Amino acid sequence: MSNAIEILKAGGVVMIPLLLFSITAIGLIIERSRYWSRIIKRQPKMMQRVLMLYQENDVAEAIAVLKKNLDLPAARILLSALSLDRPTPEQFSLAMKAEAQAEVPGMKRFTNIFDTIVGLSPLFGLLGTVTGLIVSFSSLNIGNVGGSQTAGVTGGISEALVSTASGLIVAIFNLFAVSIFRGFFTRQTALIEEYANRFELIYDRRYETRRVS
């Protein structure tokens, strides 16, 4: 703990926003990890079960399963179409597309905050580098290089190095996290689109069969 405090002191005033960025990022990473863990664990199995029920023409049971899983984006998307009363294939498709668009902000939640932290952290580190060098040069006395002025010079260099490294660490840590969450988003949206297309194909066939008969 004392070492961490010493590092914060060594990095100068820019360590305050970098510390706030770190605390914010850790909280958001925990929240997003729980969110994606729930989706990855439950959503594929739920969609498989609903598709199987729908293929067996057990629409009522499929809707019941969806209603039990309304905390999942895919459940809300599929339910928006399956709960319609005798829609045309176009209406069936549009209902899912509209709901899918509505789900995107929730699935990409906090991405802008992560991007802001990734962008600003190196800049604050660079600011610390500049202020540290200013302290070093202001403390430098050419006629007294080996005297008491040396402490100010080394202190300024230490501030420059610590702040730069801290800014880069915070940025890299957040960039790594947001890249993982974007990967989860891409894979899950592709999976939802795949199952939505399957539901549309099944509904189109049944709709055409009803029209012919």
Provide, for the chain, the percentages of residues in helix, strand and coil under a 3-state DSSP scheme, each rounded to the nearest 5.
Answer: 85, 0, 15
pLDDT in tens, 119-167: 999 999 888 888 877 777 676 655 555 555 555 556 667 777 888 889 9
CA distances to 52, 53, 99 from 76, in Å: 17, 17, 7
- Collect all residues with Cβ–Cβ distance below 8 Å to 133 and sequence separation of at least 6: 156, 157, 160
Question: Mean pLDDT score of the chain, rounded to an integer?
Answer: 87
Domain count, the chain: 1
Count of H helices and E strands in the chain? 7, 0
Task: Give the pTM.
Answer: 0.84
**Are 162 and 13 a contacting pair, CB within 8 Å?**
no
Q: Which domain holds residue 143?
A: 2-212
**Are 74 and 195 a contacting pair, CB within 8 Å?**
yes
